[in-house]
Amino acid sequence: MTAPDEPDEKLMMHTVRGNHESMEALLRRHATPLLNFLRRLVGDLSLAEELFQEVFLAVWARRSTYRYPRPFKPWLYAIAVNKVRQHRRRKHLDAVSLTAAEASSVNATSAKEPLQAAVDAEHAALIAQAVARLPLQQRTVLVLRFWDGMSYREIAEVTGNEEGTVRSHMHHGLAAIRHALGPRLA
C-alpha cells in the first residue's frame, strides 16, 4: 500500500518496479497542475487532455529511465514539454489563447471593489494575450515560473537548457510582454 504522504520520488521508485498503485498516486497528485500547465502552453483544453494522456503513458513506458532520487516534477514536466514540442512539429502550433480566468490565476483577485476587479480582469486578459504570442520556449519558462512556481534550476531541468539560457528566455519573454503591453498597463 502506498502512503499518501510519500514523496514523489519514492512513488516513482515503486513505479519503476511496476507498482501500478504508486503510478496512480502520482497521476492523482499531478493531474490538475500538469493539465493546467499543458492547457496554458497549447491554449486548448481538449488538446491539453490528449497531451496529458500521452505524458502519463510516456511516464509509464519510460519509467525505467527514471533515476532515483532525481526530482520527479521536473522529469515529468520535461516529458510534457517534449510532448508539446512533438505536437507543435506535427501541427505547427504557434500562438495559443489563454483566457482571462487562466491568466488571473497568477494573481487571484480578492474581495475588491467591482471597478478594481474589472480593471484587474482586463489586465489579466492583456497579459494572457501577450504570453500566448510568445515563442514556445519563452512561454514555457514564464508559465513554469509564474504559474507553477518552479525555480530557474528546475525549469532548466525541464527544458534541457542551462540555467543561464532559462534566465535569458525569461528576460526576453518579459521584455516582449512589456513591449506588447506598452503604456496599456501603466
- Give the cell for residue 52: 496529458
- The residues, any chain, with a CB within 8 Å of residue 19's CB and separated by 6 or more, are 2
How many Cα neighbours within 13 Å face the side chain of 155?
25
- H/E segment holding residue 95: none
Whole-number Å distance between alpha carbons of 170 and 54: 27
Whole-number Å distance between alpha carbons of 123 and 149: 21
pLDDT of amino acid 124: 77
Question: Looking at the predicted structure, is the pLDDT value of residue 178 above 70?
Answer: yes
- Give the cell for residue 160: 534541457
Higher pLDDT, 166 or 184: 166
Closest CA to 157 of 146, 144, 175, 168: 144
**Which domains does the chain show, CATH number per domain?**
1-93 (1.10.1740.10), 95-186 (1.10.10.10)
- The residues, any chain, with a CB within 8 Å of residue 107's CB and separated by 6 or more, are 120, 124
Whole-number Å distance between alpha carbons of 109 and 165: 32
pLDDT of amino acid 108: 46
Contact 145, 102 (CB under 8 A): no
Q: Considering only 89-93, 124-128, 133-137, 155-159, which range has the smallest mean pLDDT?
A: 89-93
Compute the Cα dihedral for 41, 45, 48, 52 and give only its sign. positive
